[in-house]
Amino acid sequence: MSMERVAWGSLYNITRAKSGSKPFSKATLKRVMGFARPHRGKLIAFVALSIALAFLAVATPVLAGQVVNTIVNKDGADEVIRLATLIAVVAVAEAGLGLVSRWLSSTIGEGVIVDLRTRVFDHVQKMPIAFFTRTRTGALVSRLNNDVIGAQSAFAGTLSAVVSNVVALILTLIVMLGTSWQVTVLAMILLPIFLIPARRMGSKLADLRREAAEHNAAMGTQMTERFSAPGATLVKLFGRPDEESREFALRAGRVRDIGIRTAMLQFTFVTALTLVSALALALVYGLGGWLAIAGQLAPGDVVVLALLLTRLYAPLTALSNARVEIMSALVSFERVFEILDLEPLIKQKPDAVDVAPGPVSVEFDDVRFAYPSADKVSLASLEEVSTLDTRGGEEVLHGISFRVEPGQTVALVGSSGAGKSTIAQLLSRLYDVDSGAVRLGGTVPGTGLDVRDVTFDSLRDTLGMVTQDGHLFHETIASNLRLARPDATDDDMWDVIRQARLETMIRSLPDGLETVVGERGYRLSGGERQRLTIARLLISQPRVVILDEATAALDSTNEAAVQAALGAALEGRTAVVIAHRLSTIRAADVILVVEDGRIVERGTHTELLAAEGRYAELYRTQFAEATAVVEEAVPEF
C-alpha cells in the first residue's frame, strides 16, 4: 500500500465523519448488537479473515527482505525460488481471502441496510396521520437512505478496519522493532508530521463538504417543489422566475466554488502526505543503509523496513480516525433509532377481532377528541426546527353522539373547520378518540364493536373512504385500482370504471389500464382523478362508505354522472357523507349539522328546513340565486 493511497483513504474517512463529542451510549451499542445478531456467524468469519489478512500483509515484506538477503549471501537459486514461490502463494491467498472478506463485508452491510430500512419503513407506516402532516418528507427519506447507509458502515468497514489495523499495527511494530529499533523510533518520530495535517486539513474539508451538502439539499428541495405540477403552476401564477433562477444560480455557484477549493485542498493534502512519505523512506534508506554498511543490519532488512513503513503509518492513521468513524456510525444509528422510538398512537390490540359478516351499523357514543401535540407524534429533527411546537391538546369534538343503521346514509354538514372530517377520520381510525367510543355493528346502541378492538385488516375490509384531494400514486391506473383490491381482474376494473363514467376516456388512452397517471395523478383532470378514486372505492366493495367531499372537484355534468353511480353503489350499504353542496345530501336518511365540534341540529332535509335553524341558513345562502330547474337537474341518492 503506497503512502498516497493511505493519504487518500485518510482523507476520505475524515471528510465523511460526522463531528460530535457525545460519549458512547451503552443502550445504543446494545441495540446495534441486536441488529448484528442475525449476522453473527458472518461477522465472526469476517473478523477472522481480517486478522488473517493482517498477518499476510506483514508476511510479504518479510519474505521480500529474505529474498534480498539470500541474493546478497548467495545462498543459492533454489532458496530464492522457494521464497519467491512463498511470496506468490501469499499474494494468491491474500487475493482469495480478500475476495471472501469483501463478499462477507458486502453481505453483512447490505443485510443490515435491508433490516434497518425494512424496520423503519414498517414502523413509519404505523405512524398516525399527524406524523405525516408535520414531517418533512425529504428529512424522513434521508433517514432511510443516508443514515441507514452510515449505520451500515459500522459493520461493513469500521469493525473490520479497527480489528485488522490493531493486528497489523502490533505485528508491524514487533517486526520493525525486532529488525531495527533505531529505524522504528525514527519512523515513530515522523508520525506526527503525518497525522497533524490529516486532522487539521481533514477537518476543513469536512466542513466544506457539509456546506456543499447543505447547498445541494437546498437546491434539491427547490427543484422538487418547483418541478412538481402544483409547484410549477404556483411559480407561473405567483412566482418570480428571474428571482428563482438567481437564487438557484447563487447556490450552484457556491457549490462550484466549494468544489474548486476542495479539489485544491485535497491535492495539497495528498501532496504533503506523499512528501512526508518520501522523506520517511529517505530516512529509512539513509539510516538503514548506513547501518547495513556498518554491518549492523542486513541489506534485506532495509527492504523489510521500507516496505513495512506504510504498513505502520496506514493502521496508525486509520486508528487515529477510528473514534470519529465509530461515533459517525453511532450517530447514524441513533438518528435511525429516533424514528423507531416514536410510539405509534394507533395500535392493534393483541386480542383484536374481526367485524362480523353482514350489514354494519355505525355509532358514535359521546365522542371527545383533541389532536395530539407535536411532541407525541413528531421529532424536531424531522420538522427541521430547533424545538417542537408544544401547542395542541385542545378538544375539537365535544360529546358527538349519533347512530347510523345498516343501509342508512347520514350526512354531515356545517362550516369549514367544524369537525366533519375529524369525525370521518375517527371512524376510519386514522386517529383514536380521547373518550367515548366509535362502534361498528350491533343491533342496539352500545352493543357494537369498538373500532379500537377491531383488527386493522378487518377495518380496512369493512370501511371504504374517498377523500377530497383524490390522491393517486405515480403508477398505472390498474395499480391504483388494485391498491384497494389486489386480486381484482381486468373485468372487475372495467366494471367500476364504467360505473364511475370513465370508460370512454380510459379506452381512448394508448395504454388503457396500464397508463401511468403521473405524480399525484396530475396527468388526469381534477374530475377524472376524483372519479378514479371513486372507482377505487367501488372496487373494494366496503360495507361502510365514507365520502369526504367526494364530488367537490367535479363539474355539474360529471357530478350528476358520478352521483348516479354512487347511488347504485351505496344501495344496501351504510354511508357517512360529508358534503359542501347541500343538493347532494337532500335524500340522506339523517342530516347532522356540525358546528364548533358539536351536533347542533339533526333531522331530514325537510325537517331541518322547517326548523329554520342553521341548516336552513346554510341552504338559503347556497341556493339564494339557484333556479328550481338547476336544482332539479342534480340527482339525489
pLDDT, one tens digit per residue, over 512-538 is 888 888 777 777 877 788 888 888 888
Examine the domain organization and report whether 443 and 336 are in the same domain.
Answer: no
The separation between the first and the last C-alpha atoms of the chain, rounded to the nearest angstrom, is 80
Which secondary structure element, helix H or strand E, spans residue 546, and what is its range?
strand 544-548
Q: Comparing 486 with 136, which gets the higher pLDDT?
A: 486
Residue 546 and residue 606 in one domain: yes
How many CA atoms are closer than 13 Å to the CA of 34, on its beta-carbon side? 11
pTM: 0.69
**Average pLDDT, integer, range 536-543:** 87
Residue 502 domain-assigned (yes or no): yes
**465 and 610, same domain (yes or no):** yes
Regarding whether 375 and 327 lie in a shared domain, the answer is: no
In the listed set 292, 310, 340, which residue is the last one of a domain according to the structure?
340
Lowest mean pLDDT among 82-91, 187-196, 578-587: 187-196
Q: What is the CATH number of the domain that holds 219?
A: 1.20.1560.10
Residue 4 burial by Cβ neighbours in a 10 Å radius (0-12, 13-18, 19+) = middle
Residue 590 pLDDT more than 70?
A: yes
Question: Is 390 a domain residue?
Answer: no
Model confidence at 213, pLDDT cuts 50, 70, 90, reads: low
Which among 6, 636, 627 has a CA at the least distance from the CA of 310? 6
* 307 and 371 share one domain: no
Share of residues in the chain with pLDDT > 70 (%): 76
Task: Give me the pLDDT at residue 25, please.
Answer: 63
- Asked, for residue 388, whether it belongs to a domain, the answer is no
329 and 403 housed in the same domain: no
Question: Could you tell me if 54 and 184 lie in one domain?
Answer: yes
Q: Which residues contact 115 (CB under 8 A, 6 or more apart)?
A: 35, 38
Q: pLDDT confidence of 591, banded at 50, 70, 90?
A: very high
Least confident of 269-283, 423-437, 585-599: 269-283
What pLDDT was estimated at residue 397? 93
Q: How far apart are CA 289 and CA 296, in angstroms?
A: 10
Residue 209 lies in a domain: yes
Q: Quick one: 533 and 487 in the same domain? A: yes
- pLDDT reported for residue 387: 65
Measured over the CA atoms of residue 167, residue 169, residue 172 and residue 173, the dihedral's sign is: negative
Shared domain check, 335 and 370: no
CA distances (Å), origin 102, targets 45, 161, 517: 12, 12, 43
Both 478 and 556 in one domain: the answer is yes
- Give residue 451's pLDDT band: very low, low, confident or very high (50, 70, 90): very high
**625 falls within a domain:** yes
pLDDT in tens, 98-122: 899 888 877 887 787 788 888 888 8
Give the domain range for residue 123: 3-340
Indicate if 260 and 367 belong to the same structural domain.
no
Residue 505 in any domain: the answer is yes
* pLDDT band per the 50, 70, 90 thresholds, residue 555: low
pLDDT of amino acid 625: 45
Q: Decide if 356 is inside a domain.
A: no
Three-state SS for 395?
Answer: strand
Contact between residue 476 and residue 513 where contact means Cβ atoms under 8 Å apart? yes
Instruction: Please report, for the domain that includes residue 439, its CATH number.
Output: 3.40.50.300
Number of domains in the chain: 2
Greater confidence (421 vs 153) lies with 421
Domain shared by 442 and 331, yes or no: no
Cβ neighbors of 73 (< 8 A, separation 6 or more) are none
Q: Specify which of 329-343, 440-454, 620-634 reaches the highest per-range mean pLDDT.
A: 440-454
pLDDT at residue 632 in the model: 45
310, 340, 370 - which closes a domain: 340
Query: Is residue 393 in a domain?
Result: no
Contact call for residues 148 and 120 (beta carbons, < 8 A): yes
Res 156: pLDDT: 61
